[in-house]
Each structure stands twice: as structure tokens, then as C-alpha cells.
């Protein structure tokens, strides 16, 4: 029997400019594990384990590192395939609106006190944007948010393994039968402000320009026919009243969130595996059956572009069921044979299901306000956009989204994958090998997105891969050194990639298929033990290849249907061209009763991009409101970095005990580096990045009973 437990705590790494909510990136996690082994006979072994883990932490800090052009994208730097994200056009457009308002006020117009409030917001945005552009390459000292960005997890896992050995089963040789049963239950909550802005201080350009446009009677046409003797037009007085209502709504709320999300997920899974593992004089083999089943519910509440939209959810349920059968065999003609041949096959059948449970309003900005302006008894200036938003607790009481709520979709997938390896022993301490294999990753659904154009679920296809590898493995220097190297190539079909989907002011992360891609590379590792107390490890990895085919981006078919080819634009994401790793394990002292050991690691990697592409489609034709011009944005890269970590541990620090005391430090060089970023497209215009942890130090104390 074994029992273990742990707890880890750390204060926030970064403060929040919003003093009313928590900071960012603390640690607060704990857990325990219980395991039991029962051996009623030499042949039968029963292992059971249970683990429980909890986490309640503040999320990573996000920083605004750039702005997309707002207009005139055709003349933007890098157009069309690498549009620069350092545009000042958003601040310039707001400044032009401020100038127009000041001119009107010179004629005695727009004199309401709300206009003064608006001008203060606009000037704050202009100053903030200029500061952000000037410091885009600098890591901020603190973060900003409207709400506490928090993540909690509660995980229970059970595992039962039963194995029975037969020393001799005739032609099958020595055999072990094994049953592995596992369950896992997860409850997680994520509360996130995903824009890196404290909107109590900064109101962004989308609401500012909308309100400014309402001041000038330029947002809603005066006459929008909606049928005989009826129109949805709003005159100048109506737009002015709506502008004042929006300002009042922001003041009442105290902020204008760009994108806040609150979600709760429950996940249950069950797996059962049956194995038969055996060996004879010439054959080692494993065959098995595997079954997997899971069910997950996702409930969320989004507030985007306040006060121009509404509360909504993209809640959904998903389920998966998979069954597979597999076998792998390694054959040697005799114990003295220098050649070993390994072959394996796996056949899988899977079913994926999604049920859309979206709630909210089937409306855009103009439609939301039609009831107000169509009712002559309603005073437009008293309309309160806050009424379009609910609390997180009330999100599931929002009206069901017509045409989406309750829609169910299912997809079946099957695949036969295999592996063939031929190994040749050059000596007792060295061999070369060649491997060809195929692989598969099932498709599924993006429950956060619905393909309204085709009135169907947003689905992605299965991913397939063919890989080849040539390798060399060796021991030398009387076993004190090990050298391994491998050349490899991957060919992907329908490669699954993470992407960000934008639709107006709504932003959703999703998985998409990227066509085809090829990768090739080399890996080398060297381990040296010059003394019994010292081990040095070196590793290098290099990879080439981006995308052979990537889906193009299209403009509206009603306005020319321009096409932007992505094949030479999309990039391999999150995998550096080159990475190097150095490790040192030094047993400084070993008295027999206690040990003092030092572990030192250094890891370097080239810069990367976070996602393959970031795209948008702009409207550049004033005569046609349809978006006509597709572009790709240049991505702010994740920095190259060298991360050095160290750990000094003292085992059996107390006499006759199993106490281990360890002093450690991470990122000892205090590298400042961007680690992941994303782009909010043309409407919201923000580019954000997360950062790696700065230098941190800690003390671990563990005790084994």
C-alpha cells in the first residue's frame, strides 16, 4: 500500500491594474493518491489506485502587443499576406471623430454632459494606444482585466489493473493476461477576461466609433424598408438618443468589456483494455482490445463588445465512443540473429456527437434596438442596453437560439493504421533501424461555433499521417556513453490545427483542417557519465516544413469573391526550427545514509508563431457592405529563449528518515519571452500575448512513509 499527498502554493506573479480583482499566475493546487497491490498468488497481481487533484488559480496575464488596421487595409504595410499589426489607424480614426465633435460643439451642438464623458474616454484611448504601440516589445510590469481570471479543476481518477501470468502456454510461450479499467471525472470552471484591458479605464475603439457615428447620424440609415408602409430607419434625433443611452449604460456598468467568458465543464470518461502479452524463443507480441467512452457538458456565458451586443452562450454537450483492436509482433529468427522485424496494426472505430444548446438573441446591433424605435410611446433616450446582459448565474435562462438550440449531429470515423520496423544489430551495443508507420486522429465538432452559412455543425475531419524514420542507437566507452540519432519525415493529410474564428465581435477558438503538410527533421542525443557521480546529457532537434496546402480565404461572392492563397503564408505553429537541451545530474555527496544532488538544465529554442495563420476579410467597397478583401496578418512571434533551471536536493535530510529537502530555481536568467498569442481580427482589432514565467525560486519538502 502507498499513500501520498502534495500541495503547492505561490503568490501572484503579476498585480492587476484593476485593484478590485485579483492578479495573475499564482499557484494553489493540492492532491492525494492511494494505491494498493494484492498478490493472492505468484501468478495473479491486482493493483488499484485512486487519485484526487484540485486546482484553484488565477490565469495567465495577457498583454496587448499590437493593433490591426481599421480601414484602408489595401495600403497597409505587408498587404495582403502579412498585414502589420502595429497600425495607428484605430487611434487616428477615434481622433478624427473627436475633431468632428469639437467642430460641432463650436457651432453650439452636441452640448450634453454625456458628450464630455465620451471625449474623455476617446482621449484616454488615443493616449493608451500610443503607449501600447511604443512599448509593444516590452513585457508589462502588471496586467489588466475587468474580472478575475480564474481556473478551478477537481479531478477524481480510479484505476484497476488485474494481471495473470502463465509461464508456459505451449506455442504461445510465456504469457501475461491483463485487464486495465479506468474512470475519470473532471469538473472545471474558467472565468476569463480575454482582452488584457481594464475597461473601467480604457474604452476601446469599437464602442467609441459606434457612439461617435451615432452622434453624426451615420450608423443606421434613415429609411430601411421592412415591408409595406413600414421601415426600420432611425433619424438623427433617434441616433443621438441612442448614443446617450450607450454612454449611460457604460457609466452604469462602470466598464465596457471587450471579451469576457465564464464557463463550467463536467467530463466523465471510462476505458477498458484487455491485453495478451507474450514471448517465445523467436517472437515477442502484444494483442489487445480497447474501449473508450466519454460524455462532457460545457456551459458558458460570454459578454463581448459591451454595450453593442448581448449576453449569449455557446453551451453544448459532446460525447465520444471508440473501440479498437490491435496487435504488435517482433520476430527474430534466433537469439543470435542480428535482424529484428516489428510489425503492428490497429483498427479503430469512433463515433462523435454534439448537441448545440446555444442561448441568446438572434440579433445584430441594429436589430436589438428596432423594438424601441418602432414604438412611438418609448422614449429612446431612456433605453438601457444593460438590459441585454445577464449575470453568469442567469445565463442558462436566456432564450434558446432559434435554429441552433437543440440541434444534434453525429459523425463516424474508422481507421486502420500500422507500423513496420526493421532493426539490424551492428554489435551488442549498436543498431540501426528503419520504420514506416501510419497514424490517425479522429475528427469531431467545434461546439463553440455553428456553420450558419451551411446550416450545420462546424465539424473537422480526421487527420492522417505517414511517417518514416531512420535511426542509429549505440552504447560506447564501456557503457558510459550513449549516442542516438534519427532522421524522420512526416506527411499529413487534413492536419488539425488550432485557430481563432472571428465573426463580427464574436471570437471563438476552434480546430480546423489545414489541407496537407510535410515535415522532416533530425534529432540527436548524447549522454555521458564521465564518473559514477556525474551524468551529462546533450540533445539537438531540427525540423523543416510548413504547409503544402492550406485553405484559401475568400471575399464575399457578392462583391468580386477575391481569393487569398494561403499555401505560402501558413506557418508551422509552436514547433521551433531548432532546439537544444543540456542537462547535468551531479551526485555531489553520498554518505550511504544521505545524498546531496544537483540537477541543472538549459533549454534553447528558436522563435515560433502561435497559430498557422491569422486572417480577416475587410470591406473596402463603400457601395457594397459585403466584406470583399481577404488578408493575413503578420504574427507577433513567440520569442527565442534560453531557459536555465536548477535543483539542489538533500535526500534523507533527517537521520533515519525519508525526508527530501530541495531548493530550486526556474528561469534563472530571468528571460522575458512571449509564449503564446492570438489576434481578434478586424472588428476588435487587438493582438494579445501571454508570457513565460520570470525567474522563480522555491523550496520543496517531501516525506515518504
307 upstream amide cis, omega within 30 of 0: yes
Please report, for residues 146, 241, 390, the alpha-carbon distance to residue 370 in angstroms, rounded to integers and kept in the order given: 30, 14, 20
Interatomic CA distance for residues 341 and 351, integer angstroms: 34
Mean pLDDT of 37-48: 97
CB 659 within 8 A of CB 652: yes
Structure letter (DSSP) for residue 121: H
Mean pLDDT of 456-482: 97
32, β-bridge pairs:
5, 52
Interatomic CA distance for residues 116 and 101, integer angstroms: 10
CB 328 within 8 A of CB 340: no
Mean pLDDT of 592-613: 94
Contacts 24+ apart (CB under 8 A), 103-112: 104/215, 110/215, 112/244
Other CB atoms within 10 Å distance of the CB of residue 221: 13
User: What pLDDT is attached to residue 171?
Assistant: 92
Mean pLDDT of 444-460: 93
Mean pLDDT of 198-213: 95
Other CB atoms within 10 Å distance of the CB of residue 388: 20
Q: Which of 188-202, 241-255, 367-381, 625-639 has the lowest mean pLDDT?
A: 367-381
pTM: 0.91
Structure letter (DSSP) for residue 577: S
Other CB atoms within 10 Å distance of the CB of residue 24: 23
Mean pLDDT of 639-662: 87
Name 31's Cβ contacts closer than 8 Å, sequence gap at least 6. Answer: 5, 6, 51, 52, 53, 54
Other CB atoms within 10 Å distance of the CB of residue 586: 16
Name 129's Cβ contacts closer than 8 Å, sequence gap at least 6. Answer: 67, 88, 90, 91
Q: Report the run of H or E that residue 114 belongs to, with start and end.
A: helix 113-134
- In the block, cell 512571434 appears at 637
pLDDT tens track for 497-516: 987 766 655 667 789 899 89
Q: Which backbone phi and psi does 179 adopt, to 5 degrees?
A: -120, 130
Interatomic CA distance for residues 682 and 663, integer angstroms: 48
Mean pLDDT of 408-423: 98
CB 702 within 8 A of CB 670: no
Q: What angle do CA 47, 52, 58 make, to 5 degrees?
A: 150
Region of 268 please: left (phi>0), alpha (psi -120 to 50) or beta. Answer: beta
Mean pLDDT of 263-291: 97
Interatomic CA distance for residues 690 and 64, integer angstroms: 9
Interatomic CA distance for residues 566 and 612, integer angstroms: 10
Name 414's Cβ contacts closer than 8 Å, sequence gap at least 6. Answer: 347, 348, 349, 350
User: What pLDDT is attached to residue 378?
Assistant: 52
User: What pLDDT is attached to residue 383?
Assistant: 72
659 three-state secondary structure: strand
User: What pLDDT is attached to residue 643?
Assistant: 98
80 upstream amide cis, omega within 30 of 0: yes
Mean pLDDT of 541-567: 93
Mean pLDDT of 248-258: 94
pLDDT tens track for 310-320: 899 999 999 99
Half-sphere exposure of 465 (CA within 13 A, CB side): 19
- Averaged confidence pLDDT in the chain: 92
CB 692 within 8 A of CB 673: yes
Q: What is the CA radius of gyration of the chain?
A: 30
Longest CA–CA span in the chain (Å) reads 103
Q: Report the run of H or E that residue 440 belongs to, with start and end.
A: strand 430-441
Please report, for residues 33, 162, 320, 522, the alpha-carbon distance to residue 39 in angstroms, rounded to integers and kept in the order given: 20, 10, 35, 45
* Grid coordinates of 694: 520570470
Q: Which of 173-177, 358-362, 366-370, 382-386 has the lowest mean pLDDT?
A: 366-370
Mean pLDDT of 594-622: 94
Nearest to 148 by CA among 251, 260, 268, 46: 260
User: What pLDDT is attached to residue 218?
Assistant: 86
Angle, in degrees to the nearest 10, between helices 113-134 and 236-253: 70
Q: Which of 106-115, 145-154, 376-385 has the lowest mean pLDDT?
A: 376-385
Interatomic CA distance for residues 377 and 369, integer angstroms: 14
674, β-bridge pairs:
691
593 three-state secondary structure: coil
Q: Report the run of H or E that residue 106 belongs to, with start and end.
A: helix 89-106
Mean pLDDT of 198-203: 95
Interatomic CA distance for residues 236 and 238, integer angstroms: 5
* Grid coordinates of 390: 445577464
User: What pLDDT is attached to residue 594?
Assistant: 84
**283 pLDDT exceeds 80?**
yes
Interatomic CA distance for residues 245 and 241, integer angstroms: 6
Interatomic CA distance for residues 122 and 96, integer angstroms: 10
CB 551 within 8 A of CB 516: no
pLDDT tens track for 216-241: 988 876 665 555 444 556 778 878 88
More confident residue, 240 or 366: 240
Structure letter (DSSP) for residue 454: T
Amino acid at each position: 500500500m502507498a499513500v501520498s499527498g502534495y500541495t503547492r502554493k505561490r503568490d501572484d506573479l503579476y498585480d492587476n491594474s484593476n485593484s478590485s480583482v485579483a492578479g495573475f499566475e499564482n499557484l494553489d493546487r493540492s492532491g492525494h493518491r492511494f494505491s494498493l497491490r494484492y498478490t493472492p498468488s505468484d501468478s495473479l497481481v491486482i493493483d488499484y489506485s485512486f487519485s484526487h487533484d484540485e486546482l484553484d488559480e488565477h490565469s495567465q496575464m495577457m498583454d496587448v502587443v499590437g493593433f490591426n488596421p481599421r480601414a484602408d487595409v489595401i495600403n497597409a504595410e505587408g498587404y495582403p499576406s502579412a498585414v502589420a499589426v502595429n497600425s495607428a489607424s484605430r487611434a487616428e480614426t477615434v481622433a478624427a471623430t473627436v475633431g468632428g465633435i469639437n467642430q460641432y460643439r463650436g457651432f453650439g451642438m452636441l452640448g450634453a454632459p454625456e458628450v464630455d464623458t465620451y471625449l474623455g474616454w476617446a482621449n484616454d484611448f488615443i493616449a493608451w494606444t500610443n503607449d501600447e504601440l511604443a512599448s509593444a516589445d516590452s513585457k508589462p510590469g502588471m496586467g489588466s482585466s475587468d474580472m478575475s481570471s480564474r481556473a478551478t479543476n477537481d479531478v477524481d481518477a480510479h484505476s484497476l489493473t488485474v494481471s495473470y501470468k502463465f509461464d508456459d502456454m505451449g506455442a504461445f510461450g510465456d504469457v501475461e493476461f491483463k485487464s486495465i479499467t479506468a474512470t475519470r471525472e473532471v469538473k472545471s470552471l474558467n472565468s476569463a477576461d480575454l482582452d488584457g484591458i481594464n475597461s473601467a479605464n480604457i474604452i476601446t475603439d469599437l464602442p467609441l466609433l459606434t457612439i461617435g457615428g451615432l452622434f453624426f447620424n451615420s450608423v443606421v440609415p434613415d429609411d430601411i424598408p421592412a415591408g409595406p408602409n413600414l421601415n426600420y430607419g432611425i433619424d438623427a434625433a433617434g441616433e443621438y438618443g441612442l448614443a446617450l443611452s450607450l454612454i449611460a449604460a457604460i457609466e452604469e456598468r462602470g466598464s465596457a468589456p471587450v471579451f469576457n467568458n465564464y464557463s463550467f465543464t463536467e467530463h466523465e470518461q471510462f476505458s477498458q483494455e484487455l491485453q495478451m502479452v507474450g514471448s517465445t524463443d523467436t517472437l515477442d507480441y502484444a494483442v489487445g482490445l480497447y474501449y473508450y467512452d466519454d460524455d462532457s457538458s460545457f456551459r458558458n456565458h460570454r459578454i463581448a463588445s459591451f454595450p453593442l451586443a448581448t449576453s449569449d452562450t455557446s453551451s453544448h454537450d459532446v460525447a465520444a465512443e471508440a473501440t479498437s483492436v490491435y496487435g504488435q509482433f517482433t520476430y527474430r529468427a534466433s537469439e543470435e540473429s542480428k535482424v529484428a522485424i516489428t510489425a503492428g496494426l490497429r483498427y479503430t472505430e469512433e463515433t462523435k456527437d454534439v448537441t448545440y444548446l446555444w442561448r441568446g438573441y438572434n440579433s445584430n446591433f441594429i436589430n436589438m434596438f428596432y423594438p424601441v424605435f418602432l414604438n412611438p410611446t418609448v422614449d429612446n433616450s431612456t433605453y438601457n442596453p444593460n438590459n441585454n446582459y445577464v449575470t453568469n448565474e442567469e445565463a442558462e435562462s436566456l432564450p434558446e437560439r432559434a435554429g441552433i438550440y437543440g440541434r444534434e449531429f453525429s459523425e463516424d470515423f474508422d481507421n486502420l493504421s500500422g507500423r513496420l520496423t526493421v532493426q539490424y544489430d551492428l554489435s551488442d551495443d549498436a543498431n540501426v533501424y528503419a520504420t514506416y508507420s501510419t497514424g490517425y486522429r479522429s475528427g469531431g465538432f467545434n461546439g463553440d461555433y455553428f456553420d450558419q452559412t451551411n446550416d450545420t455543425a462546424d465539424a473537422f475531419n480526421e487527420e492522417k499521417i505517414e511517417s518514416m524514420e531512420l535511426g542509429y542507437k549505440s552504447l560506447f566507452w564501456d557503457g558510459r556513453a550513449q549516442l542516438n540519432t534519427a532522421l524522420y519525415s512526416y506527411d499529413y493529410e487534413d492536419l488539425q490545427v488550432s485557430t481563432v474564428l472571428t465573426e463580427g465581435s464574436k471570437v471563438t477558438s476552434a480546430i480546423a483542417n489545414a489541407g496537407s503538410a510535410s515535415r522532416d527533421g533530425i534529432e540527436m542525443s548524447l549522454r555521458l557519465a564521465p564518473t559514477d557521480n556525474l551524468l551529462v546529457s546533450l540533445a539537438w532537434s531540427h525540423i523543416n516544413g510548413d504547409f503544402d496546402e492550406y485553405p484559401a480565404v475568400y471575399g464575399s461572392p457578392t462583391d468580386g469573391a477575391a481569393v487569398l492563397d494561403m499555401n505560402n503564408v501558413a506557418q508551422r505553429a509552436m514547433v521551433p526550427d531548432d532546439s537544444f537541451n543540456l542537462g547535468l545530474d551531479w551526485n555531489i555527496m553520498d554518505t550511504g545514509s544521505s545524498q546531496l544532488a544537483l540537477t541543472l538544465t538549459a533549454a534553447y529554442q528558436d522563435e515560433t508563431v502561435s497559430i498557422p495563420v491569422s486572417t480577416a476579410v475587410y470591406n473596402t467597397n463603400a457601395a457594397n457592405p459585403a466584406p470583399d478583401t481577404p488578408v493575413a496578418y503578420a504574427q507577433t512571434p513567440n520569442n527565442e529563449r534560453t531557459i536555465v533551471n536548477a535543483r539542489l536536493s538533500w535526500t534523507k535530510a533527517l537521520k533515519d528518515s525519508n525526508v527530501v529537502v530541495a531548493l530550486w530555481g526556474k528561469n534563472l536568467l530571468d528571460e522575458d519571452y512571449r509564449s503564446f498569442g492570438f489576434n481578434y481580427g478586424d472588428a476588435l482589432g487587438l493582438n494579445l500575448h501571454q508570457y513565460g514565467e520570470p525567474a522563480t525560486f522555491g523550496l520543496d519538502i517531501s516525506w515518504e512513509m
